[in-house]
Structure 1
Amino acid sequence: MYSQLKKYFHILMAATTVLTINGCIYEDMKPCFEDDVDITIVNDWALAPDADPEGIAYTFYIDGVKDHWRFDFPGREAGKVILPTGHYRFIMYNDDTSGVRFESGDDGTMVATSRPGYILEGLPGWNSNDTITYTREKVLICPDMMWSGSYSDVTVTYDQLTYSDSTATYTSRLSESNPMQLVTKPRQIVATYSYDIINVKNLSGVKRMCAAMSGLAASLCVNNGLPSSQPVTLPVKAVKSGDSSISGKFFTFGLPRATRAPNLLYLFVWLTDGRRYVYEFDVTEQVVKASDHLNVHVVVDSLSLPESIPDESVGTFDPSVDGWTHVVVNFVV
């Protein structure tokens, strides 16, 4: 009788423990053992005070094994997780990234990239008929904003948590008044680029337009924020900003780590009379010399568009016919 009551008591305690976990999702859930340890994850947002993720995934990769434990919490704050004692690699990143694809390695590293796209995909109401082969680089869509943090070495014992990164080693000991804490230091790893084309003449004759930028990184390592060396072209939006300006804003993995490809800003313009123009601006110098590589802004001054011819049409867009007038614009920064 005593053993049966003891069995029921352990079942009740296990159920109570599960109910007290807030917002956690366990991937490939392992059975709970007596060596499981409570750890509280605390996020220190000093490096990204304005971050506003919808949710964050916290993953512990078992050292030397592909298996992992993942916990998901809504918003920018975490909470308590339960882990077996052992050695881990830790990575956290926001999981509200529909435009990002992830590739994880057995060693706990993770690479973020985006899906293949079309150079005119920044066009409002874009469809697959709106296409043109204009760049030699691979075209990928823009990623979403991302924040991440990681520790290369995490050791969990019954009464002590030790974790380290490239700069320091941290220790948290269990006491009656304080639980063991893992303090993360997430930071922004995806850059925000924006552009303005000012003093534009004959903007009223534009029916629709979009843009693209070349020479940007295809992916980055989520663990350390380092971009890949492959340059790609990203399709982006272009909108009228007043009567004589065009602007756009987008997310990117930044500049490639090794390859130095030019950063060309392309503006694709459809006039109301049906004529199509693509304008090319070399903004490499502005991008490379930006004071903050996570927030880059480029400006192009002066663009003279052709006047749209009233009551005249030269046909609609036909992807089987080139029909584009290419103009390289030299401008002074």
Structure 2
Amino acid sequence: MQWPTLFVLGVLSTLSTALLRFQCSQLVVQRLDPLVAPGQIPSTHLHQIVGGNAFNVTMDPKTMDIPTQATCTSCSFSEDFSNYWTAVLFFKARNGTFKRVPQIAQISGATAGITVYYMQDALYDTKQASKVTAFKPGFRMFVGDPTARSKADVAKFRQLTYTCMANAGSRSPETSEFPSTPCAYGIMANARFPTCWDGVNLDSPNHMDHMSYPVNGTFESQAPCPDTHPVRMPQVLFEVVWDTSKFNNKADWPTDGTQPFVWSFGDGTGYGNHADYVFGWKGDALQKLMDDACVVNCPTANAKTQGSAAMNKCVQTAQVKEDVDGWLTELPGGMPVTYSK
């Protein structure tokens, strides 16, 4: 299915309840990971981060109140100081050098970054009528496995996928591995987080066990949450569009014809796709929006938004100083490229 932007806005404007879809511009690109590797400078691999400018090497919820420490956000909702991040995509040329793949913002005026969704029901559900409980201060989660190198490895995460985009509206088909042929517009990487919470823990040692998928199927199937994780949360979805069209010359691809893209953590298969989320909405702003008739552009009293100029102005200087934009002889941090375990 293809969803041109104007078509999406036209359909969703008829919904009765909340479906948030918004852009977050680039905050910083650097090797820090306060969720998986707090205090480690630098972290093992490169990330692209969006959201509030309280992002730091350590973000301990016991000592940090994100909305009060952030002074700006690169997201269009001005009360959303959360941080959202993923790894960075690189092109590996035939000569073995690497080049960071630029990103395309899906919403006009934004600078690169991530398109974020918060949903009550499946994206294609025209009612969005289910009740969900918004995340709480201190909440954080992770999805995916950077060491995954096979379809079986990634299957347990259910909805970490790629779309080979023919144009800006492409949304299907989705694969769990990197596309094997050139994509005319680019590659969209999709990360959907689990939606069932244990109702107690804001985090867990692996940043995943406090969350669960529905008993069977996916969030879209409207299956119930398991008894161990009874609280239904919003579906958080990241869409990141990588402008791989700049690297579609097959003469630059590996001589064996395999695809040339690798993640910054050294994954040449795509199965290691993963994403991080640290909640930082101000007060009960997110719950109000999820309870409101707020759809995409959210013309309601509860939606405090800002323009692209303010979003783009919210940036950080990288704490880890290294070249991430030139042609590199190795991935940042020296991560080796692997195709199997």
Tell me the TM-score normalised to structure 2 length: 0.24
Larger Rg, first or second structure (1 or 2) = 1
Higher helix content, 1 or 2: 2
Q: Which has the higher contact order (CA 8 A, sep 6+)?
A: 2
Tell me the TM-score normalised to structure 1 length: 0.25
